[in-house]
Amino acid sequence: MYDIEHEAEDHSRTIVHIDIDCFYAQVEMIKDPRLYQIPLGIKQKNILVTSNYVARKYGVKKCMLIADALKVCPNLEIVKGEDLYDYRKMSYQVTSYLQKYSVLVERLGLDENYVDVTQLVDERLKHQNPNIDVRGNLFNNIAETCVCGCVERLKMGSVIAQEIREGVLHELKLTTCAGISYNKLLAKLACSLHKPNEQTVVFPNHAVALMLSLSNVSEIPGVGSATDEILEKINIRTIEDLQKCHFETLIQALNGDRAKWLVDLSYGRDNSVVKTSGRPQSIGLEDSCKVLNVETEVREKFHQLLMRLIILVSEDGRIPTTIKVTIRKFDSVSKVSHRETKQCNIGPNLFSTDKITRMISLNEQSEKKLLSIVMNLFKKLVNTSRSYHITLLGLSFTKFKERFDGKNSIASYLMNDLAVQSVTSIERKNSISQPQTSLQTVCSTDGSENEIEPLPKKSRLGSLVSRCARLGDSDYSSPSKLRVADLRLNSRDSDHGDTGYLDTVASSREIECPPNADKDVFKELPSDVQQELWEDWKRNRSHEDPHDKPFKKAKTNTLLNYFLKN
């Protein structure tokens, strides 16, 4: 048997897992408050993907066939939930709200987030009376005896979780559930113990009991149907089976790391970290339809999609450089449908930035140009001189570039990058008075699906960060100063006085501004960043095109690319 006692368990983190109650149904109820009082189901095709809690009282369940749901609840009001636009938008607003509490917010699907509130807890415990009660429910209702300090931390975590949930309700009108524990696994499981609109704390000495309360190994988060089938073949069904299994047999069935991971989970042990979710690699919309076979209708549909997509992209703040068209064609001979896509590059100068709102937008001319690009792509996919039968149209933007001003500026991009990689380690070494204050402007509004920023940024930023850390300047006691002043980017803007890090890295020598960069922004940058931009430009100069197309010329992933004039 794998010896799970071989290393001391770490309870130092405080993780909150948040899940939105009947998510799609709540979004629909916000849009039409009449629905709060009546049983509501959200349908996709012929099933209900969710229902509100009024409907659940009648026995309506997730993934029920509509026909079955209507049998148990004939008064069920059914709303279509195939267009995910509003759900996705709300989902990102929730993640964005949570980022006020920590830079470590990880999205899981559309309605769940992990928030690592360890720092905030530590900070609060320094300043507040630790004799507080658990807010919400306590798994197993028994007081904790661990002496490592986790009792106070998790109690404080429950206070913070309650604040977060009250904030989400107040700001976004959504009720949520939360689980609070010292690892992600237990926090997620705790979250589902009391629903809706409740929260639950799990202390370490009840971790094993919580795991044993699961009826089957497939209820362990991360165990999908493939793993479940493998386990079934070696007669592992319950959590107890997993705990008592012959470890060598498990290793033969799964690989060694996965076997160890799984046994650890069966004891409630999970060292995985809360990873800051990156932003999406593509932003797209699709619309299915019964039949589209006239070009003017196709154009109109694409126009509608484009208009909605522009709103999503402007909320994201980055500038897309590729557009992709998706179609689903129905073949009347074979009677099957299939998807096809075609994409092309678009010039970033199609987009402009509103001087006041800092949102990116398209003017009428660019809108027309983009629509004609879309129609050209469509015509490459479909021979419009013959009859055709389209059942879905989709548009998406990909390959985003950061803007160099505004909330998704180069500074913000650098800050984000720091936030992802290194700020936390610096913060941990230093006292933080108000960790949440600056994050709204620093973090993207959009915390989705696992995009990792390109590597070249990391190495350079890594050096910036290590310099910060080496200098150990007391001004870094505030992460807001670190992120905003540090990279916005010069001592003149900062309140560091004459002794800060920025002065230390600033050189008195003036570095020439590359001709294709904005002089005002350039002079605000630290000297080593200026130097790098200048070197980048020099490297690219040999390929310079007399028609001045900077985005095309610079190599991808260079700092210069993030700094060129829009």
Q: Using CB distances below 5 to 8 A depending on partner kind, what does residue 373 bind out of ligand DCP, Mg ion, none? A: none
Exposure of 238 in the CB half-sphere (CA atoms within 13 A): 8
Task: Choose the contact partner of 456 out of Mg ion, ligand DCP, none; CB within 5 to 8 A by kind.
Answer: none
> Does 62 engage in binding with ligand DCP (CB under 6 A)?
yes
Residue selected from 9, 19, 116, 473 as contacting Mg ion according to rule CB under 5 A: 19
Tally of CB atoms within 10 A around 258: 15
Pick between residue 94 and residue 103 the one whose CB is nearest to ligand DCP.
Answer: 94
Phi and psi at residue 517, in whole multiples of 5°? Answer: -110, 160
270 belongs to the binding site for Mg ion (CB under 5 A)? no
Min CB(166)–Mg ion separation in Å = 18
Closest contact distance (angstroms) between CB of 191 and ligand DCP is 9
Q: Which of 346, 445, 350 is nearest to 395 (CA)?
A: 346
Interaction of residue 89 with ligand DCP, rule CB under 6 A? no
Paired tokens of 468: 């910060």
Q: CA-CA distance, 366 to 133, in Å (whole number)? A: 58
Residue 28 binds ligand DCP, judged by CB under 6 A: no
Tokens of 155: 């109690």
Q: Which residue among the candidates 112, 402, 427, 524 is catalytic per the annotation?
A: 112
Measured at the alpha carbon of residue 407, what is the angle toward residues 404 and 410, in degrees to the nearest 5? Answer: 30
Rounded CA gap, 331 and 340, in Å?
13
Choice between 49 and 471, CB closer to ligand DCP: 49
Q: Shortest Cβ distance from residue 50 to ligand DCP (Å)?
A: 3
Binding partner of residue 230 among ligand DCP, Mg ion, none, CB under 5 to 8 Å per kind? none
Active site residue 297: no
| Total number of residues that touch ligand DCP (CB under 6 A) | 14
Should residue 475 be labelled a site residue for ligand DCP when binding is judged by CB under 6 A? no
Q: Do the beta carbons of residue 565 and residue 410 sit within 8 Å?
A: no
Nearest distance from C-beta of residue 19 to ligand DCP, angstroms: 5
- Quote the strand ranges of 307-355, DSSP E: 319-331, 336-345, 351-353
Site for ligand DCP (CB under 6 A): which residue of 24, 114, 182, 388?
A: 24
Give the helix/strand (H/E) hosting 291. strand 282-292
Distance in Å, CB of 37 to Mg ion, minimum: 21
3-state secondary structure 167-200: HHHHHHCCCEEEEEECCHHHHHHHHCCCCCCCEE
Decide whether 153 or 188 has the Cβ nearer to ligand DCP: 188
Which residue in the set 106, 111, 123, 427 belongs to the binding site for ligand DCP (CB under 6 A)?
111
Q: Binding partner of residue 455 among Mg ion, ligand DCP, none, CB under 5 to 8 Å per kind?
A: none
The encoded tokens of residue 497 equal 């006085």
20 binds ligand DCP (CB under 6 A): yes
Asked if residues 247 and 1 have their Cβ atoms less than 8 Å apart, the reply is yes
Radius of gyration of the chain measured on its C-alpha atoms: 27
CB 373 to ligand DCP: min, Å: 32
Q: Which amino acid is at 363?
A: N
| Cα gap 193→214, rounded to integer Å | 11
Distance CA 443, CA 103 (A): 8
* Whether the bond into 456 is cis, omega within 30 of 0: no
The entry of Mg ion, ligand DCP, none near residue 196 (CB within 5 to 8 angstroms by kind) is: ligand DCP
In sequence order, what are the residues at sequence separation of 6 or more whose Cβ sits closer than 8 angstroms to the Cβ of residue 307? Answer: none
**Which lies closer to Mg ion via its Cβ, residue 167 or residue 462?**
167
* Of the candidate residues 6, 34, 63, 542, the single one contacting ligand DCP (CB under 6 A): 63
Q: Which part of the chain contacts Mg ion (CB under 5 A), choosing from 18-26, 254-262, 395-403, 471-479?
A: 18-26
d(CA 363, CA 24): 33
Backbone angles phi and psi of 502, in degrees to 5 = -65, -35
Q: Containing H/E element for 88? A: helix 85-98
Q: How far is the CB of 196 from Mg ion (least distance, A)?
A: 9
Q: What is the DSSP letter of 257?
A: H
- Please identify, among the stretches 22-30, 128-136, 297-305, 408-416, the one whose residues bind ligand DCP according to the rule CB under 6 A: 22-30
The interface mask with ligand DCP, positions 33-52, x = CB under 6 A, is ----------------xx--
Residue 112 binds Mg ion, judged by CB under 5 A: yes
Binding to ligand DCP by CB under 6 A, coded x per residue (else -) over 159-198, reads ------------------------------------xx--
Identified binder of ligand DCP from the candidate list 11, 16, 18, 19, rule CB under 6 A: 19
Q: What is the residue-wise DSSP string for 352-385?
A: EE-TTT--EEE-HHHHHHHHHHHHHHHHHHS-TT
Task: Name the residue nearer to ligand DCP (CB basis): 22 or 263.
Answer: 22
How many residues in the shown chain lie near Mg ion by CB under 5 A? 5
Consecutive H or E run containing 397: strand 390-401
Query: Does 22 participate in binding ligand DCP (rule CB under 6 A)?
Result: yes
Do residues 42 and 28 make contact, with C-beta atoms less than 8 angstroms apart? Answer: yes
- Residue closer to ligand DCP by CB (options 32, 512) is 32
Q: Residue 79, interface with ligand DCP (CB under 6 A)?
A: no
CA atoms of 146 and 395, how far apart (whole Å): 54
Per CB under 6 A, the segment of 15-23, 361-369, 426-434, 499-507 that binds ligand DCP is 15-23
User: Is 111 an interacting residue with respect to Mg ion (CB under 5 A)?
Assistant: yes
Point out which residues bind ligand DCP (CB under 6 A). Answer: 19-24, 49-50, 62-63, 110-111, 195-196
Point out which residues bind Mg ion (CB under 5 A). Answer: 19-20, 23, 111-112
Known catalytic residues are 112
